[in-house]
Amino acid sequence: MDEFDIIDRYFAPLAAENQNALGLTDDAALVHPPTGHELVIAKDAIVQGVHFIGDETPADIARKLLRVNLSDMAAMGAKPYGYLLALMLPSSTDNTWFASFARGLREDQKRYGITLLGGDTTHTQGELCLSATMLGWTPVGAALKRRGAKAGDDLYVSGTIGDGALGVRVARGEPRIASRESRNYLLQRYRLPEPRVMLGQRLKGIATSCMDISDGLVQDLGHICECSHVGAKIDFPLIPLSQAARAVLPKIQSPYETVLAGGDDYELLFTAPPEAAKALSALARKLDIRIGRIGSIVKGNRIKVMNEQGKMLILKRRGYSHF
């Protein structure tokens, strides 16, 4: 099979429902924004050995690629529309790989209401590099941003924090730090993050600032603080942890850093004024998503994290940085 057979067989069917993808036969896709909406566009890459181990099924790699990009749509409050791919693959990549990869794409296309719009497939002599560009829509002027947090706002996260970072350890075969059930749970949280797409859209008009946590809670909060010219205080005991994380954290080194700076959470981090608390509780119930208040926005530009005894934690690192 050559490149064009692969496109015909595995990728064109994923674009068939959207005539703007032109059947993947043209040099570009055409996209028509709905009236009164603006385009939200994000591009995130995942690389073998960095964002995934390499022992995942191609289907799960495909879904992770879409989901880290969908998480950016969630962060902006956008309704996802479609995506483009750039796949840089070893030339040994075979039909079985493409079939599984396409199956994963199809599964999450259905789940999130998106279609393939276009892209590029090329080979590399190095490791698997995958990039996706995700497109979505928000009503003009309604997008959530990192700027906008105000002193006095409450600070919230969706879901539970730290599972992804613990899942990486499990995936790397670290000493059996938990029961099989906990290990599977954490591994799954790392391999298939749950982008908070519905929540993001419903936070428009409630949240004063929002982003997704990918590099680590404290580091990412730093971006909100910098863009909004504020500081923040986190109460560590308020941070929502999964049962599996609660079981594992006491047994590992640097439990605080793992939660606060581990990354790979793909949960939403957002701020809202205290009077929004009721609306947020209602939203959490309606969407069946945990929303936890973890602290407050304060004046200044510092981020403080308080431990169980109300003492300030000194962190060795704030999050993940490439280079």
From the list 14, 15, 40, 61, which residue makes contact with its own copies (rule: CB under 8 A)? 40
DSSP one-letter code for 46: E
Burial level of 224, CB count in 10 A (0-12/13-18/19+)?
buried
**What count of Cα atoms within 13 Å lies in the side-chain half-sphere of residue 69?**
31
Among 19, 36, 113, 147, binds its own copies (CB under 8 A): 147
3-state secondary structure of 305: strand
Reference 218, options 159, 164, 155; nearest CA is 155
Among the listed residues 317, 311, 149, the one whose alpha carbon sits nearest the alpha carbon of residue 237: 311
Query: Which residue, 133 or 242, is less far from its own copies as judged by CB?
Result: 133
CA distance 217 to 191: 19
For tokens 């995130």, name the residue: 44
Among 180, 278, 288, 323, binds its own copies (CB under 8 A): 323
Q: Which stretch binds its own copies (CB under 8 A): 33-41, 184-192, 247-255, 296-304?
A: 33-41
Q: Which residues pair with 154 in a beta bridge?
A: 272, 296
Footprint of its own copies on 80-119 (CB under 8 A)? 84-89, 91, 93, 117-119
The piece of 28-36, 239-247, 253-261, 285-293 that touches its own copies (CB under 8 A) is 28-36
> 47 to 76, contacts with its own copies by CB under 8 A?
47, 49-51, 71-73, 75-76
The closest of 201, 218, 225 to 148, measured between CA atoms, is 225
Question: DSSP state, 311?
Answer: P
9, 12, 57, 129: residue in contact with its own copies (rule CB under 8 A): 129
Residue 189 in 3-state DSSP? helix
301 near its own copies (CB under 8 A): no
C-alpha closest to that of 122 among 135, 131, 113, 114:
131
Residue of 192, 198, 227, 284 that binds its own copies (CB under 8 A)? 227
Q: Rounded to the nearest whole angstrom, what is the least distance from the CB of residue 120 to its own copies in the complex?
A: 5
State in angstroms the smallest separation of the CB of 244 from its own copies.
Answer: 27
**Judged by CB under 8 A, which of 12, 13, 22, 293 binds its own copies?**
22
CA–CA gap between residue 239 and residue 157 (Å, rounded): 8
Spatial distance between the Cα atoms of 297 and 152, rounded to a whole number of angstroms: 6
As a whole number of angstroms, the distance between CA 303 and CA 218 comes to 8
Q: Does 145 bind its own copies (CB under 8 A)?
A: yes
- Residue 89 CB, shortest distance to its own copies, in Å, is 8
Range in contact with its own copies (rule: CB under 8 A) among 79-87, 169-177, 188-196, 254-262 = 79-87
Q: Closer to its own copies by CB, 227 or 306: give it.
A: 227
Nearer to its own copies, 182 or 208 (CB): 208
Comparing CB distances to its own copies, the nearer of 43 and 285 is 43
When binding is defined by CB under 8 A, the residue of 103, 204, 223, 293 that contacts its own copies is 223
The number of residues in the chain equals 323
Tell me the site size for its own copies, rule CB under 8 A: 73
